[in-house]
Amino acid sequence: MREELTASQKNILEFLEERIADGESPPTYREICQRFGFRSTKAASDHITALEKKGLVIREKGCSRGLRLAKGASGVRLLGNIPAGWPRETWSTGEQQLAIDLTLFGIRERCNAFALRVAGIP
């Protein structure tokens, strides 16, 4: 699919992926314009519309930072394992990530989320 993108569309998609992977909020049209030297937010909007039509980006209406990737390019950090049943502290600092669409849980920014793996019998 990336072969069908223009150079500007590829760059904008990579910018969006970088921001989300770094735990930052998605860019606004003005930030896209500033990064790529566009003079008008209409140019950024047109590129995002093209990415949306190609199924790579989803735009939430009425939200200034409402861009998100259509398919699990982002994830949530897995902090570690916890036992089911009575509470007991066990933490891990692994760098593993789970591909989860956080918007399904009402979470807009990846930096506000983490996951724990539950093991054992409740």
Report pLDDT digits (tens) over 19-67. Answer: 877 778 889 999 999 999 999 999 999 999 999 998 888 887 777 788 8
**Residues 83 and 53 placed together within one structural domain of the fold:** no
**Residues 52 and 90 placed together within one structural domain of the fold:** no
**Residues 60 and 104 placed together within one structural domain of the fold:** no
**Residues 49 and 96 placed together within one structural domain of the fold:** no
Q: Could you tell me the pTM of the whole model?
A: 0.56
Number of structural domains the chain divides into: 2
Distances (CA, A) of 14 to 17, 20, 69, 72: 5, 10, 11, 14
Q: Are 110 and 78 in contact (CB under 8 A)?
A: no
**Residues 115 and 58 placed together within one structural domain of the fold:** no
Q: In the chain, what's the furthest Cα-to-Cα distance?
A: 59
Residue 86 domain boundaries: 76-119
Given this model, what pLDDT does residue 82 score?
78
**Residues 48 and 100 placed together within one structural domain of the fold:** no
